[in-house]
Amino acid sequence: MGSQEQTTLVTQNQLFYGTFIYPKTLTELEYLYNTAVAVDQNGTIVAIKRDCDLSQATSTLLPRLGWAPNSVTIHSSSDSHNQFFFPGFIDTHLHAPQYPNVGIFGKSTLLDWLETYTFPLEASLSDPAKARTVYNRVIRKTLSHGTTCAAYYATKDVTTTNLLADLCLRAGQRALVGRVCMDQLSPDYYRDASAADSVAATRESIAYIQSIDPTGAIVRPVITPRFAPSCSAPLMADLGKLAAETGLPVQTHISENEGEIDLVRELFPAKKIGAKGDTYTHVYDTFGLLTDKTILAHGVHLSEEEVEIIKARGSKVSHCPCSNSALASGAARVRWLLERGVEVGLGTDMSGGYSPSVLEAARQAALVSRHVAMGCASVEKGSKGSKANKDGIDRERAKLTVEEVLYLATKGGAELVGMKGRVGGFEVGMEWDVQLIGLGRDVADGEYEGEEKEEEGNVDVFGWESWPDRVAKWVYNGDDRNTRKVWVKGRLVHERK
Amino acid sequence: MGSQEQTTLVTQNQLFYGTFIYPKTLTELEYLYNTAVAVDQNGTIVAIKRDCDLSQATSTLLPRLGWAPNSVTIHSSSDSHNQFFFPGFIDTHLHAPQYPNVGIFGKSTLLDWLETYTFPLEASLSDPAKARTVYNRVIRKTLSHGTTCAAYYATKDVTTTNLLADLCLRAGQRALVGRVCMDQLSPDYYRDASAADSVAATRESIAYIQSIDPTGAIVRPVITPRFAPSCSAPLMADLGKLAAETGLPVQTHISENEGEIDLVRELFPAKKIGAKGDTYTHVYDTFGLLTDKTILAHGVHLSEEEVEIIKARGSKVSHCPCSNSALASGAARVRWLLERGVEVGLGTDMSGGYSPSVLEAARQAALVSRHVAMGCASVEKGSKGSKANKDGIDRERAKLTVEEVLYLATKGGAELVGMKGRVGGFEVGMEWDVQLIGLGRDVADGEYEGEEKEEEGNVDVFGWESWPDRVAKWVYNGDDRNTRKVWVKGRLVHERK
């Protein structure tokens, strides 16, 4: 397996016809009906024609593109099955090796969860056979939920980290794949021997991943310090230099849990590391880990001062609501981040998060934003109400709409993974990372008293709903059954029969 | 359609064999392996034999019961598909006519949501053809999610309320069916003309429902004042008398939203109605609506004083976490209610709640309890932290476990709908209201890289998980695909092919 197999999978020219929906802005979805979108062999959108029927589309677009009719594959969305094309989801934070533990977390919170559930499982994935099973499954699973691009943490093991990259490339799922760096505090059985070892292993994995996909079209390496408590100051400093040297993206965790924040303050006093402040953000900033390609997961308890630094560096935040609720980490203030100009995407954070679905993350983002609206965000210990007002969060503004959570799941995520402007919409020049969503046939009088409707998923459309209402129904009750087909860069990578 | 059709649907004697799991107590699940459960023609469990193989079970149980082998239908759970029998779910609060609106609520909260989305749809369901379509669908849908008993609100229309009861009886889903009483504040197009009219219509619906199922084995009427703001004092007084006269159960809403609570205080001053206090609870109590058969939906913002009254009357609370988060109503303190001796069940509260699934309600109950643990519950305006401590809510105690939310979904609900001790477990004398849950085959090396696993649902079992871990996986990622078969009172009422 390697670049040859993948790069030879160039597709035919394709013409997609029907209903297209995508986030035009944070607050607005664009609806295109009776529209044709032409996608070339490289998976790039080369022409769009609105308000036409299929024969008009073929008779005008194909000659203009110089495409012989018999060289073009045509895909139509089915109106009778409430189908529409929608941009693929981007999962900006998940741990591939933790996938077998989804849903298993008991009453734990971050630090005891790591010791009890997570480190033992991750360590066991140095077994290539087990890693192959788990990684294949997590890729198939996330593809089936419409995830066209994922920012993966693997483990500290180089061989199986590289295997994850191989498997993503073969499956055609875009991925950032990070070998996890961790040289302190974790158990003896699962820790890098030294900062130097950690950096050397990281370089080895980077070189491999770049060798199998030299252009980085599908898989790319990402520098991955697990989180500050797991990394010595020398290791973080070296990884910061590596980021500067290579220009590669960085991913890590920040400000997820109050116990973790206390630990970071204790481990990295500002004076000791030469930081300009004593926050979690200052630690990463001191070591050069906050770049405009840095994905910071969580950011639940960030202060105003920290957000200013993150914004100034151009780093981004991956919001992981399923995980934050499950591990009782807190309720992240997404509106507050957005209003301060920080770019935000969504992460499933498996297995702190219980679900492989970015749609579930979007749904939970909407619900958690309502808990923020109800005054649940941890702004500063002991003075929630007044601080919340100071932060300008009022009940209405904190709430995220259906449109907004779908933006975060697509275009928002694209900003985090370095694909801004390349995916997330139906515009000429963008790449075809797309899902075909189907909500099934309308419920009609006397029909569907039995079994068959269930096969089309959990969403029921009665036929009188507007398109925005149908989209809301999908967000709140949709699942992988509604994701009928998935393409990445024009290539069909998942299909439900 | 009527009682004849239903009561003739007596089943054969049946023997169920395999793995059985049920809530033994609030905190503990019982796991029975290699067990046989004999169910007679009335759907009652008449014998259980543990730790046997199927031939041992048949050779000892059948002669003892006097059942000829060829008169018994045998159903086994499949170990290779991770199947187990589990009690059916009880949905203790939902609005059947609102089903077409699930997921559609925008940024609304309770009072504007009623005006914008809910009253127009409910009013339109006086059309019997539309009501038949919607009610058939909501019954099929909830059955497919394992709901063996539902406490339905219909509309104020008698004919279609009665139709809902007919359809539940035909489908074999146990139901409380309530004709909704509302003689004030709602729009002219959807309001009872007077208290007397409202009571007369209620009596008419009660008589009809009792005529089609005289023993109330499957469908029963329930007295249903919509909520205090929709009901005049005379109407509530008359409905309280009706409850005392008939001994029928009562269902209504309480303390869902802060604006609603203010409205109730304004509409029903203690002095004016002769109440002993000025709370929402005092209003219902004054009118005799708090009985030991009363189901109170929500109870998000109840005070200590109110809970004492509710406990003293033996009334119960339906916790609706999906709805409470979606409409930003608040985070109900379930542990606090349970510790004060109030019985609690789960409600989907469609369409305030977005999901037809009690499993989703259980999942959200666990997540919302973590928001309560994080200090999000509204105990009293302006003094959250100290009051929360006063109430004895600490971070750990507030969290609900997988075991606890499954108890609420089954045995807890049984207490609310008057079926305590009759359903919710596998014990001799209980009735067979049961789901067969299947998590699908184990993910094995090299298998399932493609499509077929998705058909078995969203839960992935790798084979090394304990049974409690498998149950946790079901709770967090399960859906209607995992509900393979559903029985009510021994009758098969849903099956996925």
- The answer to whether B353 and B323 are in contact (CB under 8 A) is yes
- The answer to whether A51 and A35 are in contact (CB under 8 A) is yes
pLDDT in tens, B436-489: 999 999 997 445 455 555 578 999 999 999 999 999 999 999 999 999 999 999
A82 touches chain B (CB under 8 A): no
A461 pLDDT more than 70: yes
ipTM of this predicted structure: 0.95
Alpha helices in A66-127 (DSSP H): 110-113, 119-124
Confidence tier at A11 by pLDDT (50, 70, 90): confident
> Which residue from A minimizes the CA distance to B398?
A107
- The answer to whether B67 and B73 are in contact (CB under 8 A) is no
The CA distance from B191 to A96, in Å, is: 55
Of A104, A140, A472, which has the smallest distance from its Cβ to B104's Cβ?
Answer: A472
- How far away is chain B from the Cα of A72, in angstroms, using its nearest Cα? 26
Fold classification of B3-87+425-495 is Urease, subunit C; domain 1 (2.30.40)
pLDDT in tens, B392-442: 456 789 999 999 999 999 999 999 999 999 999 999 999 999 999 999 999
- Give the distance, in angstroms, between the CA of residue A278 and the centroid of all CA atoms in the same chain: 30
- The answer to whether B252 and B296 are in contact (CB under 8 A) is yes
Confidence tier at A376 by pLDDT (50, 70, 90): confident
B81 touches chain A (CB under 8 A): no
Yes or no, beta carbons of B133 and A458 under 8 Å apart: no
- How far away is chain A from the Cα of B325, in angstroms, using its nearest Cα? 6
pLDDT in tens, A141-197: 999 999 999 999 999 999 999 999 999 999 999 999 999 999 999 999 999 999 999
Phi and psi at residue A52, to the nearest 5°: -140, 165
Yes or no, beta carbons of B451 and A497 under 8 Å apart: yes
At A350 the pLDDT is: 98
At B5 the pLDDT is: 43
Residue with tokens 């109110």: B306
**Range 303-342 of A in CB contact (< 8 A) with B:** 325-328, 330-331
Q: CA-based diameter of chain B, in Å?
A: 73
Fold classification of A89-416 is TIM Barrel (3.20.20)
**Mean pLDDT score, A360-368:** 98
**Range 337-396 of A in CB contact (< 8 A) with B:** 354-357, 364, 367, 370-371, 373-376, 378, 382, 384-385, 395-396
Cβ contacts of A364 on chain B, cutoff 8 Å = 367
Closest CA relative to residue A192, chosen from A230, A245, A154: A230
How is chain B split into domains, by residue range?
3-87+425-495, 89-416
The CA distance from B465 to A82, in Å, is: 38
Cβ contacts of A472 on chain B, cutoff 8 Å = 103-105
Q: What is the DSSP letter of A213?
A: S
At B9 the pLDDT is: 54
Report the residue of B402, B449, B475, B494 to disrupt the A interface, i.e. the one with the largest count of A CBs within 10 Å: B449
Yes or no, beta carbons of A132 and B399 under 8 Å apart: no
B469 touches chain A (CB under 8 A): yes
A383 pLDDT more than 60: no
Confidence tier at A454 by pLDDT (50, 70, 90): low
- How far away is chain A from the Cα of B104, in angstroms, using its nearest Cα? 6
Residue B181 to residues A102, B110, B411: CA-CA distances in angstroms? 45, 18, 29
Of B106, B395, B480, which has the smallest distance from its Cβ to A454's Cβ?
Answer: B480
- How far away is chain B from the Cα of A129, in angstroms, using its nearest Cα? 7
Q: How many CB atoms lie within 10 A of CB A90?
A: 31
Of B129, B450, B480, which has the smallest distance from its Cβ to A445's Cβ?
Answer: B129
pLDDT in tens, A26-61: 999 999 999 999 999 999 999 999 999 999 999 999
The CA distance from B102 to B98, in Å, is: 7
- How far away is chain B from the Cα of A108, in angstroms, using its nearest Cα? 9
Confidence tier at A10 by pLDDT (50, 70, 90): low
Residues of chain B with pLDDT under 70: 1-10, 378-394, 445-454
The helix, strand and coil proportions of chain B, stated in percent and rounded to the nearest 5, come to 45, 20, 35
Instruction: Please report, rounded to a whole number, the percentage of residues in chain B having pLDDT higher than 90.
Output: 89
Of A129, A396, A458, which has the smallest distance from its Cβ to B480's Cβ?
Answer: A458
Cα dihedral B47→B474→A496→A477 (10° resolution): 110
The token pair at A239 is: 């990884």
At B37 the pLDDT is: 98
At B444 the pLDDT is: 75
Of B325, B469, B496, which has the smallest distance from its Cβ to A454's Cβ?
Answer: B496
At A107 the pLDDT is: 86
CATH code assigned to A7-87+423-495:
2.30.40.10
Q: Is the peptide bond before B351 cis (omega within 30 degrees of 0)?
A: yes
At A379 the pLDDT is: 61
Cα dihedral B300→B305→B309→B311 (10° resolution): 60
Confidence tier at A456 by pLDDT (50, 70, 90): confident
- The answer to whether A289 and A240 are in contact (CB under 8 A) is yes
At B318 the pLDDT is: 98
**Mean pLDDT score, A83-96:** 98
**Mean pLDDT score, A67-74:** 94
